[in-house]
Amino acid sequence: IDFFTYRDGRLHVEDCPVDGLVEATGSPAYVYSKAALLGRFNELREAFSELDPIICYSIKSCSNLNLCRLLAEAGSGMDVVSGGELHRAKLAGTDLTKVVYAGVGKTDDEIADAIESGIGWFNIESEAEFENIASIAKRMGRTARGALRINPDVDPETPHEKTTTGKKESKFGVDIDRARRFFERYGRDEHLRLTALHLHIGSPVYVTSPYERAVTKALELIEVLKKDGFTVDALDIGGGYGTDYVSGQSPAYADYARVIVPLLRDFRASGGTVIVEPGRSIAANAGILVARVQYLKQGGRKKFVILDTGMHHLIRPTLYDAFHFIWPTRVGPDHEPKEHLEAMDMPGLEPCDVVGPICETGDYLALGRPMPPVARGDLVAVFSAGAYGMCMASHYNSLPRPVEVLVDGSEHRVIRRRETYDDIVALES
Ligand code: LLP
């Protein structure tokens, strides 16, 4: 089901007309659908139900506490990568035994806090980090659990090299061929019990074969480690499931599950715990960024649509050449989009560079993009912006970040107020 639909020429989020909503909250606004968010979470749980995995929502993808809380209430654990994200996980009421903590640069304070909080697993990224966490746990008189993050050396075939993580030359995890030595050296530590493996191959991954290769390698490694006398009772297979930005429809979780579940059936049956860490695939299609057209401008033969948002609020087009469908929130009957790709072939469109107010040439949301005619004051929606949108937004050019709004049926609620200029300077002496 799509929760972002055009009815009588007006974009609705669930049953809320977007233009009315944004008249109330102002623009730019990130607008999320509760039903879309929870729908994706439940779809994932359903697809992988045979493995009954611990689902650890990747907070980094969309961190608003209200959304984290909805997911925690639905039974989600959290994938965190910093003390700040652990703080959010706590505030959201997460069951902390369902928290996994990854990241190559965990500080001593962050580690101590996570041990104190009783998180589920530290995902261990290096030998030096293992030694540090173990010694902090020892000093605290505590035990913690660790999952060795292996780097399976699998090409995830992501569209952009900046989001590839599972190849050998990446900074994440340890090479899979070093894993056995790692266990020999650290696998008997009493304060940091190394009883799990973790991997994350990249993001977004639109094909299933990299998961197949990576999980197979991990299972082979688990067999070897067992023969060496170690226990590996949990396997975290990371996140990275795709979201189809072009049509706004994610590939079904069932497509991934069809490949992954059979591989892990025996591991699960023998008492192993499976962990997954999706972020984007839950949040991306649960949110849009709505902005107002400030000016139209001709530059040579180019038409520019200048918005009150840009790279400071959604950096993905600039940083990853990412595609986000952009369409006015009100259109005539000829321009009601069903599928995003087809919509861009409709008659009466004009190619536009959709840009923001930031003083950088790289400040654009789309280049040469076919759009229905818009006028100053119109609202446009940037689709599939729920993940890696607001959480990567900045104050660049001292512009406030957008308001965040959650829609539930025909109701909407501000879940993060718009920043003021005073908010921007609040921490400066
Ligand atoms: N687990 C680990 C260890 C990760 O590093 C990530 C994402 C995830 C899980 C969640 O991946 P997801 O399911 O969301 O694909 N800013 C980029 C994406 C960076 C992903 C970083 N790691 C973007 O906008 O495309």
Closest among 339, 255, 355, 338 to 299, alpha carbons compared? 355
Judged against a pLDDT cut of 60, whether residue 204 lies above it is answered with yes
Is the torsion defined by CA of 219, 223, 225, 231 positive or negative? positive
Q: How far is CA 18 from the centre of its chain?
A: 24
CATH number for the domain including 256? 3.20.20.10
Is 388 part of any known ligand binding site? yes
For the CA of 205, the closest atom of ligand 1 is 15
Domain identity same for 257 and 122: yes
Q: Which numbered atom of ligand 1 lies nearest the CA of 123?
A: 3
Q: What is the pLDDT of residues 81-97, one digit of tens each?
A: 999 999 999 999 999 99
The pLDDT score that the predictor gives to residue 309 is 98
* Residues shown for the chain: 429
Is 0.90 topped by the overall pTM?
A: yes
What mean pLDDT is predicted for residues 385-413? 98
Residue nearest to atom 16 of ligand 1 (CA): 388
Which among 43, 71, 245, 280 is the best mutation to test ligand 1's pocket, defined by most ligand atoms within 8 Å of the CB? 280
Please identify, among 268, 283, 298, the residue that sits at the C-terminal boundary of a domain.
283
Q: Above 70 in pLDDT, residue 102?
A: yes
Residue 61 beta carbon below 6 angstroms from any ligand 1 atom: yes
- Residue 118 shares a structural domain with residue 258: yes
| 161 plus 218 within the same structural domain | yes
What is the distance between the alpha carbons of residues 92 and 386, in angstroms, rounded to a whole number?
18
Say if residue 52's pLDDT is above 70. yes
**Burial group, residue 255, by CB count within 10 angstroms (0-12, 13-18, 19+):** middle
Residues 251 and 309 in one domain: no
Q: Decide if pLDDT at 382 tops 80.
A: yes
User: 363: domain CATH number?
Assistant: 2.40.37.10
Quote ipTM for the complex: 0.99
Domain of residue 368: give its range: 4-32+284-425
Q: Is the CB of 125 under 6 A from ligand 1?
A: no
- What is the Cα–Cα distance from 47 to 256, expressed in whole angstroms? 8
Last-in-domain residue among 283, 312, 337: 283
Q: Is the pLDDT at 249 greater than 60, yes or no?
A: no
Cα-trace Rg, the chain: 23
Residue of 235, 218, 238 whose CA lies nearest to 280 = 238
Protein residue with its CA nearest to atom 23 in ligand 1: 388
Give the residue, out of 40, 61, 314, 382, with the most ligand 1 atoms within 8 A of its beta carbon, to mutate for a pocket test: 61
The finding on whether 320 has its CB within 6 A of some atom of ligand 1 is yes
CA angle at 76 for the pair 29 and 179, rounded to the nearest 5°? 110
**Same domain (yes/no): 16, 63:** no
The pLDDT value given to residue 416: 98
User: Do both 321 and 389 map to the same domain?
Assistant: yes
Q: In the predicted model, is pLDDT for residue 1 greater than 90? A: no
Give the pLDDT confidence score for residue 157 in this predicted structure.
83
| CA–CA dist 329, 332 (Å, integer) | 10
Last residue of a domain, one of 250, 283, 316: 283
- Whether residues 372 and 385 share a domain: the answer is yes
Compute φ and ψ for 83, nearest 5 degrees: -60, -35
Confidence check: pLDDT of 99 > 70 = yes
178 CA → ligand 1 middle, Å: 24
Q: Are residues 38 and 143 in the same domain?
A: yes
Q: Mean pLDDT score of the chain, rounded to an integer?
A: 95
**Is the distance from the beta carbon of residue 166 to the nearest atom of ligand 1 less than 6 Å?**
no
Q: What percent of the chain has pLDDT over 90?
A: 89
**Which tens digit of pLDDT belongs to each residue from 123-182?**
999 999 999 999 999 999 999 999 999 999 898 887 766 666 666 667 888 998 899 999
Clarify whether residues 249 and 297 are in a common domain: no
Annotation says 359 is catalytic: yes
What is the C-alpha separation between 57 and 290, in angstroms, rounded?
25
Confidence of residue 301 (pLDDT cuts 50, 70, 90): confident
Mutate to test the pocket of ligand 1, among 44, 60, 101, 125 (most ligand atoms within 8 A of CB): 60
pLDDT at 109 over 80: yes
**Residue 252 corresponds to which tokens in the numbers above?**
């079904």
Q: How far is CA 401 from the centre of its chain?
A: 19
240 lines ligand 1 (CB under 6 A): yes
- pLDDT of 22: 97
Whose CA is closest to atom 6 on ligand 1? 239
Residue 323 contacts residue 316 (beta carbons within 8 Å): no
Same domain for 8 and 38: no
Instruction: Please give the pLDDT value at position 168.
Output: 66
Per-residue pLDDT at 247 exceeds 80: no
Q: Domain total for the chain?
A: 2
Q: Are residues 278 and 310 in the same domain?
A: no
Q: What is the pLDDT of residue 338?
A: 87
Higher pLDDT pick, 196 / 248:
196
Does the C-beta of 163 come closer than 6 Å to ligand 1?
yes
Check pocket membership of 238 for ligand 1, CB cut-off 6 A.
yes
Given the residues 56, 68, 352, 359, select the one marked as catalytic.
359
Question: How do residues 305-337 score in pLDDT, each as one tens digit?
Answer: 999 999 999 999 999 999 999 999 999 999 999
Res 232 pLDDT > 90: yes
| Alpha carbon distances (Å) from 326 to 11, 126, 170, 250, 354 | 12, 42, 33, 17, 9
Indicate if 28 and 44 belong to the same structural domain.
Answer: no
